[in-house]
């Protein structure tokens, strides 16, 4: 135990001497918490529309105002020809171009039916399909308006119409703000970086410089060395988690709805799992460069598959199975449940089992691998 105390003392000194780690601990969490939720926004606020009006009639102008005032669209240009309209899309200025053909109003009154051309930039398929459906909604609204203008008296047989009124409510996040969803995820990202990245690089650094050999020839036991390496980073991780939680409250006013002790319990177990991963990575790498790349490789896959950006439910089956085997998925889920919905222990107890499982598995693998290489 005395030996362990000395190792811990050494590690803490090394960590706190290193300005980089200090920066990682305090500056980067805050920067990430401030920048990422603002930038990582999947909401599509404005779809840019070019309106080619070749009719110049009262109807075509009405339609233009309706589109511009719908709140979905930003009118970015009113070129005079279809060719100029296409150019708006080619230049990336407009996402959608609507072409009103000559004789639009006349045909609409006479034939009751008129086609209009809609060009969509479909490279971003989310944006184009959303923009398309917004436009459909505005057009059918416009049709209905025309209906009312023309045939108010005909509509008296309304009584026999079946009507369904839908009232919707958004729980836990009434204004549906995306940042409320992102911020707890970033807390997870922070812990993941500490556990996976920094630990791996720190241990490999000793390998690269050769100081690990010196430690290997001392009477320090393997478990003392590993514990001495991991424990300080566990502390650092918990500090970062706390800093992150404070930043989350100060910057975004998000306060965990659920039990904070429960949150810390999960964070503590998750960190042990991730430290195991960091250790495992360090056993696979011979130098810091390799460690960085191996860590980056795993982190990238883990983060992408975790449901941080896109929902895991919509993944194909094989991907969903894979994402279930990913500790990040479970921790993100739990943090979101506890922070946003105030879930209690009874709701998340299975997740705790998962985390404990990951912690044991990853650390066992790491220690097994560690023995073999040294």
CB 203 within 8 A of CB 226: no
Q: Could you tell me the smallest distance in angstroms from the CB atom of residue 154 to other proteins?
A: 9
Question: Where is 129: in which H helix or E strand?
Answer: helix 125-150
**Does the protein bind other proteins through residue 139 (CB under 8 A)?**
yes
Among 64, 108, 239, 365, binds other proteins (CB under 8 A): 108
**Does the protein bind other proteins through residue 174 (CB under 8 A)?**
yes
Q: Which residue has the tokens 């590690």?
A: 11
Tokens, residue 72: 């979905």
Residue whose CB is less far from other proteins, 2 or 45:
45
Of 212-220, 244-252, 266-274, 296-304, the segment contacting other proteins by CB under 8 A is 296-304
**Does the protein bind other proteins through residue 168 (CB under 8 A)?**
yes
CB 95 within 8 A of CB 127: yes
Binding to other proteins (CB under 8 A) within 224-283 occurs at: none
Residue whose CB is less far from other proteins, 156 or 167:
167
How far is 309 from 182, CA to CA, in rounded Å? 8
CB 77 within 8 A of CB 28: no
Beta strands in 211-333, from DSSP E residues, in sequence order: none
Among 160, 219, 261, 372, binds other proteins (CB under 8 A): 160
Tell me the longest C-alpha to C-alpha distance in the chain. 98
How far is 168 from 34, CA to CA, in rounded Å? 31
CB 204 within 8 A of CB 173: no
Among 124, 211, 373, 374, binds other proteins (CB under 8 A): 124
**Does the protein bind other proteins through residue 83 (CB under 8 A)?**
no
Among 15, 49, 52, 135, binds other proteins (CB under 8 A): 135
Of 16-24, 64-72, 240-248, 353-361, the segment contacting other proteins by CB under 8 A is 16-24
Residue whose CB is less far from other proteins, 86 or 365:
86
Residue whose CB is less far from other proteins, 139 or 220:
139
Bridge partners (DSSP) listed for residue 74? 48
**Does the protein bind other proteins through residue 337 (CB under 8 A)?**
yes
Please return the burial class of 250, using the count of CB atoms within 10 Å of its CB with bins 0-12, 13-18 and 19+.
exposed
**Does the protein bind other proteins through residue 69 (CB under 8 A)?**
no
Q: Could you tell me the smallest distance in angstroms from the CB atom of residue 222 to other proteins?
A: 23
Please return the burial class of 171, using the count of CB atoms within 10 Å of its CB with bins 0-12, 13-18 and 19+.
exposed
Q: CA nearest 254: which of 331, 168, 178?
A: 178
Dihedral sign from CA coordinates of 297, 302, 308, 312: positive
Among 1, 58, 126, 261, binds other proteins (CB under 8 A): 126
**Does the protein bind other proteins through residue 169 (CB under 8 A)?**
yes
**Does the protein bind other proteins through residue 62 (CB under 8 A)?**
no
Residue 316: how many CB atoms within 10 A of its CB? Answer: 8
**Does the protein bind other proteins through residue 152 (CB under 8 A)?**
no
Q: Could you tell me the smallest distance in angstroms from the CB atom of residue 187 to other proteins?
A: 14
Among 8, 146, 212, 238, binds other proteins (CB under 8 A): 146
**Does the protein bind other proteins through residue 210 (CB under 8 A)?**
no
How far is 218 from 236, CA to CA, in rounded Å? 27
**Does the protein bind other proteins through residue 121 (CB under 8 A)?**
yes
Among 1, 152, 164, 217, binds other proteins (CB under 8 A): 164
Q: CA nearest 284: which of 191, 349, 347, 204?
A: 204
**Does the protein bind other proteins through residue 39 (CB under 8 A)?**
yes
Length of the chain: 374
**Does the protein bind other proteins through residue 119 (CB under 8 A)?**
yes
Among 288, 326, 329, 355, binds other proteins (CB under 8 A): 288
Q: Could you tell me the smallest distance in angstroms from the CB atom of residue 332 to other proteins?
A: 11
How far is 296 from 302, CA to CA, in rounded Å? 10
**Does the protein bind other proteins through residue 325 (CB under 8 A)?**
no
Residue whose CB is less far from other proteins, 210 or 219:
210
How far is 253 from 244, CA to CA, in rounded Å? 12
**Does the protein bind other proteins through residue 48 (CB under 8 A)?**
yes
């Amino acid at each position: 135990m005395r030996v362990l105390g000395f190792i811990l003392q050494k590690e803490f000194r090394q960590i706190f001497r290193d300005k980089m780690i200090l920066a990682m601990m305090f500056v980067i969490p805050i920067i990430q918490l401030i920048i990422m939720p603002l930038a990582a926004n999947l909401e599509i606020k404005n779809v840019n529309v070019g309106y080619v009006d070749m009719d110049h009639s009262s109807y075509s102008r009405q339609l233009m105002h309706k589109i511009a005032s719908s709140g979905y669209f930003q009118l970015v240009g009113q070129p005079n020809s279809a060719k100029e309209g296409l150019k708006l899309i080619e230049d990336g200025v407009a996402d959608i171009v609507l072409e009103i053909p000559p004789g639009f109003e006349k045909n609409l009154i006479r034939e009751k039916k008129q086609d209009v051309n809609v060009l969509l930039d479909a490279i971003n398929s989310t944006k184009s399909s959303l923009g398309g459906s917004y436009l459909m909604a505005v057009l059918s609204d416009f049709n209905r308006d025309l209906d009312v203008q023309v045939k108010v008296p005909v509509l008296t047989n309304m009584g026999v119409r079946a009507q369904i009124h839908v009232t919707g409510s958004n729980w836990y996040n009434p204004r549906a703000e995306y940042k409320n969803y992102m911020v707890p995820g970033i807390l997870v990202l922070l812990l993941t970086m500490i556990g996976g990245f920094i630990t791996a690089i720190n241990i490999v650094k000793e390998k690269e410089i050769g100081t690990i050999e010196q430690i290997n020839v001392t009477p320090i036991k393997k478990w003392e060395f590993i514990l001495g390496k991991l424990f300080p980073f566990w502390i650092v991780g918990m500090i970062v988690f706390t800093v992150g939680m404070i930043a989350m409250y100060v910057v975004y006013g998000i306060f965990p709805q659920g039990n904070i002790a429960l949150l810390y319990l999960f964070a503590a177990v998750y960190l042990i799992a991730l430290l195991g991963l960091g250790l495992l990575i360090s056993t696979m790498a011979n130098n810091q460069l390799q460690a960085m790349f191996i860590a980056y490789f795993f982190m990238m896959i883990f983060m992408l598959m975790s449901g941080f950006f896109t929902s895991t439910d919509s993944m194909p089956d094989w991907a969903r199975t894979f994402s279930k085997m990913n500790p990040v998925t479970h921790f993100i889920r739990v943090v979101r449940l506890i922070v946003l919905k105030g879930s209690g222990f009874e709701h998340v107890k299975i997740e705790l089992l998962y985390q404990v499982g990951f912690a044991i598995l990853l650390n066992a693998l790491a220690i097994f691998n560690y023995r073999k290489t040294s």
